[in-house]
Chain A
């Protein structure tokens, strides 16, 4: 099937316009982030649907997380996963109203998560093991019609 619509946009489809507070190109390195190296991987995080307002109004962040973390049961090293990333974001990146983002270990129902443009429900959600230069997008669906 051809999606034969000839509509051209310059938008990122994330629900903000360039004249609003959001500037997708300005990337913030949070102070807590370790510097990139052999033991860390770089992750790009983007926010849509107004979620960036909870993260210092920055829609796009590049962060570094450890390549391996200790398994919660036996303490053995295991690759860093989304569970760690979400937790890390709550303590290092979130600037306000945690209840608008987090719910238990995960994210609040109504927030969509895409990992490298794929619905995280297809990728194992919190158990997904992150790789260097993965892109994770969080989009709120909770307001605006």
Chain B
């Protein structure tokens, strides 16, 4: 086949076929359209960032967060967002997996000149994933890891005093989550999983600048830019349900590449009826650790109590603990204080508290 010319500059040789549009583009035009589309996601409407914001990039050392750190550094300079960027990594304590990928994050820290904070499950919860798996087995450990990581990111961000966490979730991830929420009937999450920025459930604003970036393009970008990233499968059992959704989505994409943005669009278009919205639980704060929660105890405190009690897999199904004090001798999670360094008076409780805390600057 003769080389195809780039459909944008019409001079250089096309090297990438864009899955979203079918466009055939050269390397330089690919970098430009990829970066510009992320910029558009960031600035659309009111925009996700405010000038002067402190922003933590959730960095795992994997392809998505590595490309995100790179692209955000570039765009912050090119368009003068005025952001103060940080790298925030969570060390789950998985020997031979996370310790290697954290080395990659440290390399990124040097390459991008961004300050790095690493917060470990061990210092926060007193448990590493290695120890958790030893106790609960391989079947359900992803539940622990997911709940603990989400909260750890917020706590790490609070310690850094940042206003905003950005993650490398890409279009494929979001389409996958839309499918999973439909299959699980999780209406509450279906409603918010396609938002670029979420604030309702979290105490700290979270955004996904790669919402419309295809995984294929992220990997191509990393390859052509020769970025340092790390890719190894977690050594513990993968999230089987997500795995199936992922394979299904990749099969769809192979037949019709626009399937991914189409599913995101469907997710965005769902509207909840008022009666459904009323049935959803209001948010409050965990009685034990102060983290935002839909029950008296947040999931992390409930899971931790099960671990501390020496329960095995049944820790997941144990009777709902609801006391504000942990049983004697159990380790607990430190109190969550968003602006502990400023000394703001704590407002009222529940969802109101969450909203007010966010507005205080």
Contacts and interface: CB of A to CB of B under 8 A. Distances in A.
Interface of A: 1, 3-5, 7-17, 19-20, 48-50, 53, 108-110, 112, 114, 117-119, 121-124, 128, 137, 139-145
Interface of B: 1, 3-4, 13-17, 24, 28, 31-32, 60, 62-65, 70, 73-74, 77-78, 100-101, 103-104, 107, 111-112, 168-170, 173, 215-216, 218-220, 222-234, 238, 246-247, 250-251, 253-254
Nearest to B252: A109
B72 to A, nearest CB: 11
B246 A142 contact: yes
Is the contact region of chain A dominated by helix, strand, or loop, or is it mixed? loop
Given A1-B28, A9-B111, A109-B251, A145 B228 contact: no
Contacts of B170: 145
Contacts of A145: 60, 62-65, 168-170, 173
9 contacts: A1-B28, A1-B32, A5-B70, A5-B77, A7-B111, A15-B230, A19-B100, A141-B218, A143-B232
A142 B218 CA distance: 12
B250 A110 contact: yes
Contact of A9 (B63, B103, B173, B227): B227
Nearest to B60: A145
Nearest to A121: B17
Contacts, number: 138
B117 to A, nearest CB: 19
A100 to B, nearest CB: 10
B231 A144 contact: yes
Contact of A17 (B28, B70, B103, B219): B103
> Chain A CB within 10 Å — which of B13, B16, B247 has the most?
B16
A16 B230 contact: yes
Nearest to B101: A144
Given A109-B251, A118-B15, A122-B14, A11 B216 contact: no
A5 B62 contact: no
A17 B228 contact: yes
A20 to B, nearest CB: 6
Nearest to B218: A141
A110 B247 CA distance: 8
Given A8-B111, A112-B220, A117-B15, A144 B254 contact: no
Contacts of A137: 223
A121 B15 CA distance: 9
A14 B223 contact: yes
A112 B219 contact: yes
A48 B232 CA distance: 10
